[in-house]
């Protein structure tokens, strides 16, 4: 398990005071942050620009030392045992960094494998396995500069897996990819966690991706965690607005009035159609079963039913609005 306990990071920056003088200023990028990632778990780290995500990932991946607090990976302190934990982790970033364009796909993996002291048959087997996993075996001898964006990103994934890390940090892994390629990558990420039991920390600006993949999500703001829970619970705790549309056989005024009275909290609107009525309900709870029961009791046939449930994006927008209010 990765565990961060009370970590903070302060940067010292020089600010120009006037033409002749600069003064030192302390920037607090991360403040007293607690976080954990278990094996087999996909954990999301969300926050607005400048919230402290990159700084947190850099500390978790040994690229930066925390100013305060402690991070352990399977019990090893990342500062005191940096070499030991480096073999347990790796990072995959979106975009086109971290690859050598003049080298072929296989040569890139060979180079990165050697950095992890892999060599000989063991390394060649690993390279072949990973190229096969990410669907690049046919293109292994082509220079990376001739790869498409999707191919480069798949090679990034293979590179991040070269040392068979137990924990992976994924920073915007589907950035700029077409929908089908992004979908394939999400499936691979899910399989790495569920089948290979890797612990994964994911940052992404695609909130649907986070909602779909993550078991738990941390929301970070100004360097501190303000919410930590499953996506469903975060949505339920922040957004209290469900929209239900039911199209039924034509409703009498009496039945409409009964429905109005039954809905104690929320709003209801009826639109008469040619042979039916469409009912629009806004409520701070999921009103589906409640209204189905009323329809059954009133012998009303349901022709169509659509529930628009709130999404993680709605929760993040609500939180941002609350903070700026």
Instruction: Check binding of 177 to ligand ATP (CB under 6 A).
Output: no
d(CA 99, CA 317): 35
Tokens encoding 324:
């700026």
**Shortest distance (Å) from residue 47 CB to ligand ATP:** 5
Is the distance from CB of 81 to CB of 70 less than 8 angstroms?
Answer: no
* Smaller CB separation from ligand ATP, 64 or 236: 64
DSSP secondary structure code for residue 17 in this structure: -
CA distance 53 to 30: 9
Of the candidate residues 52, 165, 173, 310, the single one contacting ligand ATP (CB under 6 A): 52
Pick between residue 11 and residue 100 the one whose CB is nearest to ligand ATP. 11
11 near ligand ATP, rule: CB under 6 A:
yes
**With binding defined as CB under 6 A, does residue 22 bind ligand ATP?**
no
Minimum separation from the CB atom of position 202 to ligand ATP (A)? 13
How near is the Cβ of 29 to ligand ATP at its closest, in Å?
3
CB nearer to ligand ATP: give 227 or 262: 227
Our finding on whether 27 is near ligand ATP (CB under 6 A) is yes
Q: Is residue 26 classed as helix, strand or coil in its secondary structure? A: strand
Task: Candidates 34, 54, 70, 318: give the one binding ligand ATP (CB under 6 A).
Answer: 54
Minimum Å distance from CB 207 to ligand ATP?
13
Least distance CB 132 / ligand ATP (angstroms)? 33
Instruction: Name the pairing type of β-strands 42-46 and 216-221.
Output: parallel
| The one among 29, 37, 251, 283 contacting ligand ATP by CB under 6 A | 29
Among 7, 41, 44, 53, binds ligand ATP (CB under 6 A): 53
Please give the structure tokens belonging to residue 92. Answer: 């995959």
d(CA 240, CA 308): 12
CB contact at 8 A, 59 and 65: yes
Segment 55 to 94, residues that bind ligand ATP, using CB under 6 A: 55
Tokens 């705790």 belong to residue: 237
What's the number of CA atoms in the CB half-sphere (13 Å) around residue 15? 8
Q: Are 311 and 208 in contact (CB under 8 A)?
A: yes
Binding interface with ligand ATP (CB under 6 A): 11, 13, 27, 29, 47, 49-55
């Amino acid at each position: 398990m990765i565990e961060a306990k009370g970590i903070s990071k302060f940067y010292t920056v020089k600010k120009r005071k006037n033409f002749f003088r600069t003064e030192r200023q302390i920037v607090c990028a991360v403040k007293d942050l607690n976080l954990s990632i278990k094996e087999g778990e996909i954990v999301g780290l969300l926050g607005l620009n400048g919230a402290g995500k990159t700084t947190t990932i850099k500390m978790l991946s040994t690229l930066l030392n925390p100013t305060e607090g402690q991070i352990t990976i399977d019990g090893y302190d990342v500062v005191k045992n940096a070499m030991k934990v480096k073999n347990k982790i790796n990072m995959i970033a979106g975009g086109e960094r971290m690859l050598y364009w003049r080298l072929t796909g296989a040569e890139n993996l060979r180079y990165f494998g050697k950095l992890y002291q892999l060599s000989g048959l063991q390394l060649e087997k690993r390279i072949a396995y990973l190229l096969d996993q990410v669907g690049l075996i046919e293109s292994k001898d082509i220079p990376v500069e001739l790869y498409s964006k999707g191919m480069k990103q798949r090679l990034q994934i293979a590179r991040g897996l070269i040392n068979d890390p137990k924990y992976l940090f994924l920073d915007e892994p589907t950035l700029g990819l077409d929908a089908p390629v992004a979908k394939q990558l999400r499936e691979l990420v899910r399989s790495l966690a569920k089948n290979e039991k890797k612990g994964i920390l994911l940052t992404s600006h695609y909130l649907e991706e986070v909602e779909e993949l993550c078991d738990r999500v941390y929301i970070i703001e100004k360097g501190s965690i303000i919410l930590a829970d499953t996506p469903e619970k975060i949505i339920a705790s922040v957004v209290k607005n469900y929209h239900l549309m039911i199209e039924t056989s034509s409703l009498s005024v009496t039945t409409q009035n009964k429905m109005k009275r039954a809905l104690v909290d929320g709003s209801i609107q009826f639109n008469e159609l040619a042979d039916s009525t469409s009912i629009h309900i806004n409520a701070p709870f999921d009103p589906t079963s409640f209204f189905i029961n009323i329809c059954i009791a009133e012998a009303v046939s349901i022709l169509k039913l659509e529930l628009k449930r709130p999404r993680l994006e709605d929760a993040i927008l609500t939180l941002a609005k609350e903070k700026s209010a």
